[in-house]
Amino acid sequence: LERSDKKAYEEAQKRLKMAEEDRKAMVPELRKKSRREYLAKREREKLEDLEAELADEEFLFGDVELSRHERQELKYKRRVRDLAREYRAAGEQEKLEATNRYHMPKETRGQPARAVDLVEEESGAPGEEQRRWEEARLGAASLKFGARDAASQEPKYQLVLEEEETIEFVRATQLQGDEPSAPPTSTQAQQKESIQAVRRSLPVFPFREELLAAIANHQVLIIEGETGSGKTTQIPQYLFEEGYTNKGMKIACTQPRRVAAMSVAARVAREMGVKLGNEVGYSIRFEDCTSERTVLRYMTDGMLLREFLSEPDLASYSVVMVDEAHERTLHTDILFGLIKDVARFRPELKVLVASATMDTARFSTFFDDAPVFRIPGRRFPVDIFYTKAPEADYLEACVVSVLQIHVTQPPGDILVFLTGQEEIEAACEMLQDRCRRLGSKIRELLVLPIYANLPSDMQARIFQPTPPGARKVVVATNIAETSLTIEGIIYVLDPGFCKQKSYNPRTGMESLTVTPCSKASANQRAGRAGRVAAGKCFRLYTAWAYQHELEETTVPEIQRTSLGNVVLLLKSLGIHDLMHFDFLDPPPYETLLLALEQLYALGALNHLGELTTSGRKMAELPVDPMLSKMILASEKYSCSEEILTVAAMLSVNNSIFYRPKDKVVHADNARVNFFLPGGDHLVLLNVYTQWAESGYSSQWCYENFVQFRSMRRARDVREQLEGLLERVEVGLSSCQGDYIRVRKAITAGYFYHTARLTRSGYRTVKQQQTVFIHPNSSLFEQQPRWLLYHELVLTTKEFMRQVLEIESSWLLEVAPHYYKAKE
């Protein structure tokens, strides 16, 4: 078996080399192209001469009897002319084909032109026809997964996995590719290649000149291209090379996700051979890795929004590229409206909207029919498998399937999509555990997680080449759907879920829940398997579920989130009439109204809906309005030191304590040791204070079952917030252990999030919604009469996370306009 693998490997290497040579041959081809253009021009001029000549002759000899010889010559010239005309027409046809790639939207609107069809096909959006085809396939082919290699693999497979430990998949459809199928190849050869050669091999490269010309000719350009075609890493570099950053101008490229901004900036810095933070940098909330010299700025969409506060016309930017536009995050959507406006006043500003192959027509229409530049994809076909029956426990099913793929399928790395850090860590642990038990019965399996809070050195590991003989499995959140491209993925495992925010504008409750992903998402995920070779995607749900239970597309975030933050920001940008703001998709009216109402309650807006002084300060702080209010209130209660710590600890997302499986009791004891009367906010404060007293020691964290990297992040956040205190006129002060003051300051920000114990449990004060204290809370067993919570999470119930005991009289003290004395 190993010998045959080696042969396959060598074969793959050979193919790869050939492919590379082909690619190299393309470069002179491109040079030739300009020569061809020159020749075509000569040809055109010749034709024009000829036509003039013929016209002259006909004019001169029109009525004259011509000699036979003269007639023949005239006939010959006419034929030449006709041929030349045909030739020219052909050239125009070619040009026409090129404009299909780079088309004005009007051309596609009337009759669905080629580009539109391709979009449909590539994203695999199932039209009626495809569905019928799928169904036919489903009936006919019950090809058992792994069957293709049954002869060689079956015995080994049985040896390793018990029958009941496997999942039966059915091959149903194929996601079409533009490349012929090829056996899985290893990417080692590519990894060794020079970074410049890799740059030239990306699908966007052959279109460099055309793209730059299009950017030069249009103020707004929509760029559409398959994930991994080089939009994010290459286009800003092209613009840099083209001189768009001369005279101190900057290029911004926005990403919806922090991890993507960091990782992509690091990659581009490496490609340009500069230190990250010099010419190329990134800026994400609470972390700025840029300097005076930074001209290529990768940033989260939220950070660019904040740039508007200090520079409303983005005057120092020559180009703004809104990347991953198809994700339709809240911030990206708001950016659209603001940038469209700025573009009107700054004709020299270039706006690029980059997106995976989805929805580009919408963007084009929004930007006054801006042209769409399509980068032709390079994708291999992907076979799609479904489970025969629904899986009850998708995490367990995931682990089993990964092992199943590992022992039955030819070489190639695996990408698994899960919904968040906790799940990913659990899956990785389970996988490692089983691999350890199987020992040398299976080949080496490298298990690598990737999610937002993962430290960057760990993040970088997913890009490192897989050692020969081993297989890599990357367990990722949605981040790997379109923002990051990992080379060498042949298998995708998709349980079909994602974590999604939802918002109920009636109750004002925001919750984060695990929900089925959309078809568009599922197809993007599947597409990740076809980047380097023909791939396979295993969906842990049935074909029926795909067709009947998944939504077509994900609802834009703006329609399922609270808008307090954004409304505050827009108000401070002087945009008052939010109902008529230029939204790509408007938020629900009630959501907008509720945001205004909450900001009014927090004192950020006056009764006319205008920004107050306090509202202006709140907008300065890069945190939620409630959190900013809490920080501002710490001035009054002289406890800003403590409140900063609480704010920083709340910002690191419930990842302070960890519970190793083998030391659950120790970990829980350690946690209980931090408990202070009053509630979770004080516990967080206590942890941080003790850590600071230990000299910010990692050893201390280890001994107390506290996550060192979360703490380090909290420290960063705290420093940043502290740096902003002066701007919002809050002095540094400490409560000296008088925690009542801290609790009052917190209440001043969170009086909106209060619950009261009734005979039937906790109810939120305003909306009378039934809620529960999270079992992790220090107050879980105490059940105080009044409390406030930091956030609600909906898992099995509506749980309040991070709760603090308060007294009802404080509510009157901190928000007399909101709470009136009743009882």
Residues in touch with ligand ADP (CB under 6 A): 202, 225, 227-234, 263-264, 266-267, 463, 485, 487
Q: In the complex, what is the shortest distance from the CB of residue 225 to ligand ADP, in angstroms, rounded to a whole number?
A: 5
Tell me which stretch binds Mg ion (CB under 5 A): 62-70, 206-214, 229-237, 526-534. 229-237
Q: List the single partner that 485 binds among ligand ADP, Mg ion, none, CB under 5 to 8 Å by kind.
A: ligand ADP
Nearer residue to ligand ADP within complex by CB, 214 or 430? 214
- In whole angstroms, what is the distance from residue 129 CA to residue 114 CA? 17
554 is a contact residue toward Mg ion (CB under 5 A): no
Comparing CA positions, the residue from 72, 80, 90 lying closest to residue 47 is 80
Name the residue nearer to ligand ADP (CB basis): 483 or 518: 483
User: How far apart are CB 688 and ligand ADP at their closest, in Å?
Assistant: 33
Cβ–Cβ under 8 Å, residues 775 and 680: no
Shortest distance, CB of residue 135 to ligand ADP, whole angstroms? Answer: 32
- Shortest spacing between CB 257 and ligand ADP, in angstroms: 12
**Closest listed residue to residue 33, CA positions, set 210, 204, 235:** 210
Tell me how far, at minimum, the Cβ of 163 lies from ligand ADP, in Å.
38
Q: 564 contacts which partner out of ligand ADP, Mg ion, none, CB within 5 to 8 A by kind?
A: none
- CA-wise closest residue to 621 among 330, 286, 370, 375: 286
Shortest distance (Å) from residue 518 CB to ligand ADP: 19
Which residue's C-beta sits nearest to Mg ion? 232
For residue 40, give both structure tokens.
Answer: 């075509």
CB of 520 to ligand ADP, least distance (A): 16
Give me the least distance between CB of 381 and Mg ion, in Å please.
22
Whose Cβ is closer to ligand ADP: residue 327's or residue 391's?
A: 327
Q: Structure tokens of 373?
A: 């530049």
Q: Which is nearer to Mg ion, 232 or 318 (CB)?
A: 232
CA distance 359 to 555: 13
Angle CA 77–80–81, to nearest 5: 85
**Residue 122 or 624: which CB sits closer to ligand ADP?**
122
233 binds, options ligand ADP, Mg ion, none, Cβ within 5 to 8 A by partner type: ligand ADP
Q: Is 280 in a helix, a strand, or coil?
A: strand
Name the minimum Å distance from CB 399 to Mg ion: 30
The first and second tokens of residue 356, run together, are 């995976």
Shortest Cβ distance from residue 421 to ligand ADP (Å)? 20
CA distances from 144 to 152, 167, 176, 303, 612 (A): 15, 10, 21, 48, 66
Compare residues 264 and 611 and give the one whose CB is closer to ligand ADP: 264
Q: Which does 166 bind (CB under 5 to 8 A by kind): Mg ion, ligand ADP, none?
A: none
Q: How many residues bind Mg ion (CB under 5 A)?
A: 1
Sequence-separated (6 or more) residues with CB below 8 Å from residue 515: 497, 498, 499, 500, 502
Q: What is the CA radius of gyration of the chain?
A: 31
Q: How many helices (H) and strands (E) does the chain have?
A: 31, 23
Sign of the Cα torsion 110, 114, 119, 125 reads positive
What, of ligand ADP, Mg ion, none, does residue 225 touch, CB below 5 to 8 Å by kind? ligand ADP
Q: Judged by CB, which is closer to ligand ADP: 426, or 460?
A: 460
Q: Which residues contact 494 (CB under 8 A, 6 or more apart)?
A: 417, 522, 525, 526, 537, 538, 539, 540
Report yes or no: 361 and 105 within 8 Å, Cβ to Cβ.
yes
Q: Which of the ranges 147-155, 227-235, 276-284, 778-786 carries the binding residues for Mg ion, by CB under 5 A?
A: 227-235
Phi then psi for 276, rounded to 5 degrees?
-60, 130
Nearer to Mg ion, 232 or 640 (CB): 232
Query: Which residue from 593, 395, 614 is spatially nearest to 496, judged by alpha carbons?
Result: 395
Residues 118-137 contacting Mg ion, CB under 5 A: none
Q: How many CB atoms lie within 10 A of CB 595?
A: 23
| Binder of residue 202, out of Mg ion, ligand ADP, none (CB less than 5 to 8 A by kind) | ligand ADP
* 566 interface partner picked from ligand ADP, Mg ion, none, CB below 5 to 8 A per type: none
CB of 201 to ligand ADP, least distance (A): 9
**Which residue, 359 or 641, has its beta carbon nearer to ligand ADP?**
359
Determine contact, residues 373/214, Cβ cutoff 8 Å: yes
Interaction of residue 524 with Mg ion, rule CB under 5 A: no
Among the residue ranges 230-238, 290-298, 567-575, 667-675, the one whose residues contact Mg ion (CB under 5 A)? 230-238
Task: Name the residue nearer to ligand ADP (CB basis): 369 or 487.
Answer: 487
Residue 447 binds what, of ligand ADP, Mg ion, none (CB under 5 to 8 Å, by partner type)?
none
Site for Mg ion in 594-623 (CB under 5 A): none
Binding to Mg ion (CB under 5 A): which residues in 793-812?
none
Helices within 327-463 (DSSP H only): 330-345, 360-366, 394-408, 421-438, 456-461
Write out the two tokens for 479: 């981040």
By a kind-dependent CB cut-off of 5 to 8 A, residue 173 interacts, out of ligand ADP, Mg ion, none, with none
CB of 234 to ligand ADP, least distance (A): 6
* Closer residue to Mg ion in complex, CB, 375/792: 375
Q: Given the complex with ligand ADP, which of 102 and 583 has the nearer CB atom?
A: 102
- Check the CA dihedral 811-812-817-822 and report its sign: positive
User: Which of 175, 9, 122, 558 has its CA nearest to residue 374?
Assistant: 122
Nearer to Mg ion, 232 or 290 (CB): 232
At residue 278, the 3 state secondary structure works out as coil
Q: In the complex with ligand ADP, which residue's Cβ is closer, 225 or 495?
A: 225
Angle between helices 114-123 and 519-527 (to 10 degrees): 80
Query: d(Cα 282, Cα 253) in Å, to the nearest integer?
Result: 9
Assign 262 to helix, strand or coil: helix
Three-class SS state of 387 = strand
Long-range contacts of 27-31 (CB under 8 A, 24+ apart): 27/200, 30/206
Measured from the CB atom, the residue of 229 and 408 that comes closer to Mg ion is 229
CA distance 486 to 468: 17
* Residue 764 site contact among Mg ion, ligand ADP, none (CB < 5 to 8 Å, cut-off depends on kind): none
Residue 419 binds which entry of ligand ADP, Mg ion, none, CB below 5-8 Å type-dependent: none
Comparing CA positions, the residue from 428, 418, 454 lying closest to residue 259 is 454
| Distance, CA of 618 to CA of 30 (rounded, Å) | 54
* Contact range with Mg ion by CB under 5 A, out of 225-233, 421-429, 600-608, 645-653: 225-233
Least separation in angstroms between residue 231's CB and ligand ADP is 3
When the beta carbons of 232 and 518 are compared against Mg ion, the nearer one is 232
Taking CB under 5 A as the binding criterion, the range among 232-240, 652-660, 701-709, 736-744 that sits at the site for Mg ion is 232-240
642 — phi, psi (to 5°)? -70, -40
591 binds, among ligand ADP, Mg ion, none (CB under 5 to 8 A by kind): none
Q: Which is nearer to Mg ion, 232 or 634 (CB)?
A: 232
How far is 300 from 329, CA to CA, in rounded Å?
11
- The least distance separating ligand ADP from the CB of residue 379, rounded to whole angstroms, comes to 12
* CA-to-CA separations, 88 to 42, 81, 278, 702, 800, in angstroms, rounded: 12, 10, 50, 75, 72
232 binds Mg ion (CB under 5 A): yes
Stretch that binds Mg ion, among 231-239, 360-368, 488-496, 666-674 (CB under 5 A): 231-239
Q: Smallest distance, Å, CB 198 to ligand ADP?
A: 7
Residues shown for the chain:
823
Residues lying near Mg ion in the complex (CB under 5 A): 232
